[in-house]
A = this chain, B = another copy of it.
Amino acid sequence: MGYLTVKTVEEVNGILANFRIKRQVEKVKIFEGLNRELAEDVYAPISLPPFNRSAVDGYCVNWEDVAGASESLPIFLKVVGNIEMGQKPKGQLEREQAMVVATGSMLPEGANAVVMVEETERLAEDEVAIYSSVACYENVLVEGEDVKKGELVLAKGTKLTPENISLLAALGITEVEVFQKIQVGILSTGDELVEVGEEAKLGQIYNSNGPGLIAAVSSCGAIPRYYGIIEDDFNVLKESLEKAVKECQLVILTGGTSIGTKDYVVKAIDGIGKPGVLVHGIAIKPGKPTIIGAIDSTPIFGLSGNPFSALLGFRLFVQKLLAPSKEIFVKGKVARNIPSTGGRQDYIPVTIVKKEDGLWLNPLFSKSNSIGVLSKMDGLLVIEAASEGLEAGQIGKVMLKEGINDDLFK
């Protein structure tokens, strides 16, 4: 099994960039839309504010009527009403008149400014003294100043954050079209595996890639569909893979550690449809035996059975398609010399310590990068293919592990 066609990470990223996962569209209520991606451009059906509103508690006026008003030379206006919150004003404001408004009250026609209550004195039921002049539209939120009716407010592809949902609600929009969540098929292989919850006999190990990838897929906002542990038999593998490709928009298969199974995966993918296997071997460590292919628009990833390598492969390649924004890098100084073989990208698990002079990266060397390291590390130091390692004190780039950004950005 030679990797005659080993590709660089850049080549693989170029292939991934051309993948177009087919996505259906569905309507969701905005309350259920968190983190979904808009499948339509959203235009404002109304203006915001939808009418002139007062920004303060006070008296609405015609600004020209109070020009020159001051503490020593107040101007007196006739109070002709009270605009209740949420009510349409009864009638319009004539010159030399004022109406009581609260913050948020709709202004009547004829009013173009509001004097804050602190700058006034109510002399009688129908009379108020104004102690301060105001500019035109002072203390007024003018209809459409925030959002204009018909304006594009959220473009197709935008992720619905709380801020965006708040905006949709303000516009009176109850439902939006979003892309359906991507369904991701997960298949485990390995005759030594048993599912967690069953009894592992001596010689067997628990399947950790199944649960790990189910969680990783969910964490990317996609829907995991788990197909279980697939028997190490070519026909069984091909049938299972074919089923998953039919039912999902992306498929991940882990394992193939036993003799021959790696070839099964390549043969199965090529046997199901076109374009078939596109990548067989990548110049990274760990993760060299990664397989990437596609049937029509459905990408298929054949990841290592080693849990550390499987999750790294997920983060590096699958996540790039499902949730690219989850990939966060930080820079720090390496605390020790870290050798690396040129010609391949190396991923070294590190812990990160925040010191006075910035972040320091401590490599976690272990004989085999295995699952225990996943809980101990804070991220993976990337050593580029062109580099032969880093010396202590040099700057390195770390891909953060999920959930490890707590204090590093403060």
Contact = CB atoms under 8 A, between A and B. Distances in A.
A259 interface: yes
A144 to B, nearest CB: 10
Interface in A89-106: 89, 102-106
Interface in A152-210: 153-154, 159-174, 190-194, 196-197, 200-210
A330 B216 CA distance: 26
A92 to B, nearest CB: 14
A307 B409 contact: no
A210 B169 contact: yes
Given A209-B166, A232-B85, A409-B329, A104 B372 contact: no
Interface stretch (A30-38, A64-72, A276-284, A354-362): A30-38
A343 interface: no
Interface string A141-154: 10001110000011
Contact of A161 (B146, B190, B205, B402): B402
A176 B259 CA distance: 36
Given A215-B34, A259-B57, A200 B50 contact: yes
Nearest to A102: B258
B212 A166 contact: yes
Contact of A211 (B169, B213, B372, B406): B169
Interface residues of A, number: 102
Contacts of A102: 257-259
Interface stretch (A236-244, A295-303, A363-371): A363-371
B88 A203 contact: yes
A169 to B, nearest CB: 4
B169 A207 contact: yes
A173 B207 CA distance: 11
A33 to B, nearest CB: 8
A211 B30 CA distance: 8
A162 B371 contact: no
Contacts of A204: 86
Best-surrounded residue of A48, A194, A314, A371 (most CB of chain B within 10 A): A371
A392 interface: no
Given A202-B88, A215-B162, A169 B208 contact: yes
A403 B174 CA distance: 22
B103 A257 contact: yes
Interface string A313-352: 0100000000011011110000000000000000000000
B307 A166 contact: yes
A170 B330 contact: no
A403 B202 CA distance: 46
A203 B106 contact: yes
Contacts of A34: 215, 218-219
Contact of A213 (B146, B162, B330, B409): B162
A24 interface: no
Contact of A372 (B147, B192, B213, B215): B147
20 contacts: A31-B211, A31-B215, A33-B215, A34-B218, A50-B205, A85-B192, A86-B193, A86-B204, A88-B202, A89-B203, A102-B257, A104-B305, A141-B370, A145-B368, A145-B370, A146-B370, A146-B371, A162-B311, A166-B311, A324-B406
Given A104-B257, A163-B402, A169-B210, 8 more contacts: A57-B258, A86-B193, A102-B259, A161-B215, A162-B402, A165-B211, A166-B307, A168-B196
The 7 residue pairs across chains A and B that have the minimum distance between CB atoms: A166-B212, A170-B208, A86-B192, A162-B216, A162-B215, A169-B211, A163-B374
